[in-house]
């Protein structure tokens, strides 16, 4: 197809970012053709001013012959119902992370993706961050990995659903970024977790956690931590190797090589909007007939690790992620 026409379900904070990049012509070979949101009046207003089609519900958008692919930017507890339905319509799907909020939903999506004729990609945006990409490319410089640590600190969420059990919490909504990056940077699977959580400022869900992950191969261990109770923002990644360390911060956009007591900054290209880069990668894969960069299986593994961490914290013992 010469031009991939997207239908977008969800026009909240994330959905608006996808819409903005497509409408600005920042994704070669792609355009926005249709939108759907719970507030149909708002959807119609948005669509009318931009020459788009507005749909009252996702099924109608997926069935629209003027839509070639579907973007799902909705609360994650809706994915288990929406993703299989859209795939059944034969349309490629790009879905926001986390892929699911429970194992049953994740397995249902995984089964639908395996049976579908069209691909499903999970928008793990941090893979496309400039610092992450540069750190990954420099890993050979530090030799075999001995440890990988990731910690993300951020201000409390201003979204009410962020503290709703089964929907919010940092493990599923933020932790999956770190769990995905562990697999992306090491090429290893997580075989066991031990985790502790806390509610520093939230009421119903964890806003802080620390997890130790045992990996299937070298480096053998990774540590992932996050707090949504911070007074500032950071996103540190430290890769420890036999020949040095790489220290990055995705929030600051910095990377350095550490050998002994010497710390050498590594110049980075300008930071990029990761939502735009996810869109470009998805479109490129579809246009070239290549596998999508983050298939359903990889999104599912990150959810499985997050849910194992939640259970480990509740039961106070190490656990293996569910298959």
C-alpha distances in Å from residue 304, one per residue of 46, 83, 208, 217: 37, 18, 18, 18
Structural element, H or E, at residue 194: strand 190-198
- Report the pLDDT value the prediction gives residue 1, as an integer from 0 to 100: 55
Predicted structure pTM score: 0.95
Q: Are residues 148 and 237 in the same domain?
A: yes
Which residue do the tokens 């691909």 mark? 119
Q: Are residues 137 and 74 in the same domain?
A: no
d(CA 150, CA 119): 30
- Report the pLDDT value the prediction gives residue 164, as an integer from 0 to 100: 83
d(CA 136, CA 25): 29
- Report the pLDDT value the prediction gives residue 158, as an integer from 0 to 100: 78
For residue 66, tell me if it sits in a domain.
yes
Residues of the chain with pLDDT > 70, as a percent, come to 100
Closest alpha carbon to 71 in 4, 148, 139, 1? 4
Closest alpha carbon to 208 in 235, 224, 226, 221? 226
| CATH number of the domain enclosing 164 | 3.30.360.10
Q: Are residues 132 and 253 in the same domain?
A: yes
pLDDT in tens, 227-246: 999 989 999 999 999 999 99
Q: Are residues 185 and 281 in the same domain?
A: no
Residue 138, domain extent: 126-271+304-315
Q: Are residues 202 and 70 in the same domain?
A: no
Helix 13-23 crosses helix 274-288 at what angle (to 10 degrees)?
Answer: 60
Which residue do the tokens 């207003």 mark? 45
pLDDT in tens, 145-201: 999 999 999 998 877 777 888 777 999 999 999 999 999 999 999 999 999 999 999
Beta strand ranges found along 50-98 (DSSP E):
53-55, 69-72, 93-96
For residue 320, tell me if it sits in a domain.
no
Number of domains in the chain: 2
C-alpha distances in Å from residue 61, one per residue of 110, 190, 231: 22, 37, 41
**Structure token pair of residue 71:** 């973007």
- Report the pLDDT value the prediction gives residue 276, as an integer from 0 to 100: 98
Q: Are residues 166 and 184 in the same domain?
A: yes
Q: Are residues 238 and 92 in the same domain?
A: no
Closest alpha carbon to 68 in 137, 12, 118, 24? 118
Q: Are residues 145 and 98 in the same domain?
A: no
Do residues 91 and 68 lie in contact, with contact meaning Cβ atoms separated by under 8 Å?
Answer: yes
Phi, psi angles (nearest 5°) of residue 191: -105, -20
CB-based contacts of 316: which residues, under 8 Å, 6+ apart?
none
Residues of the chain with pLDDT under 50: none
């Amino acid at each position: 197809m010469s031009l991939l026409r997207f239908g977008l379900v969800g026009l909240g904070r994330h959905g608006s970012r996808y819409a903005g990049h497509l409408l600005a012509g920042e994704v070669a070979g792609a355009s926005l053709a249709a939108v759907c949101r719970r507030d149909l009046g708002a959807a119609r207003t948005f669509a009318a001013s931009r020459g788009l089609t507005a749909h009252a519900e996702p099924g109608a958008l997926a069935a629209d012959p003027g839509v070639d692919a579907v973007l799902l930017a909705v609360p994650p507890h809706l994915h288990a119902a929406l993703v299989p339905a859209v795939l059944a319509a034969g349309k490629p799907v790009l879905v926001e992370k986390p892929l699911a909020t429970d194992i049953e939903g994740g397995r249902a999506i995984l089964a639908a993706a395996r049976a579908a004729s069209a691909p499903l990609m999970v928008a793990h945006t941090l893979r496309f961050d400039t610092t992450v990409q540069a750190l990954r490319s420099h890993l050979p410089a530090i030799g075999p990995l001995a440890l990988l640590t990731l910690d993300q600190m951020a201000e409390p969420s201003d979204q009410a659903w962020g503290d709703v059990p089964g929907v919010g919490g940092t493990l599923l909504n933020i932790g999956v970024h770190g769990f995905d990056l562990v697999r992306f940077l090491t090429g290893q699977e997580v075989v066991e977790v031990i985790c502790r959580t806390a509610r520093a400022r939230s009421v119903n869900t964890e806003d802080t956690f620390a997890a130790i992950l045992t990996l299937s191969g070298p480096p053998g261990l990774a540590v992932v931590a996050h707090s949504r109770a911070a007074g500032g923002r950071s996103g540190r990644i430290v890769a420890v190797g036999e020949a040095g360390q790489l220290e990055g911060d995705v929030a600051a956009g910095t990377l350095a090589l550490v050998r002994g007591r010497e710390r050498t900054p590594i110049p980075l290209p300008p930071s990029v909007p990761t939502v735009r880069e996810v869109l470009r990668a998805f479109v490129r894969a579809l246009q070239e007939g290549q596998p999508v960069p983050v298939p359903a299986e990889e999104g599912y593994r990150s959810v499985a690790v997050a849910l194992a961490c939640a259970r480990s914290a509740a039961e106070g013992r190490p656990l293996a992620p569910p298959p």
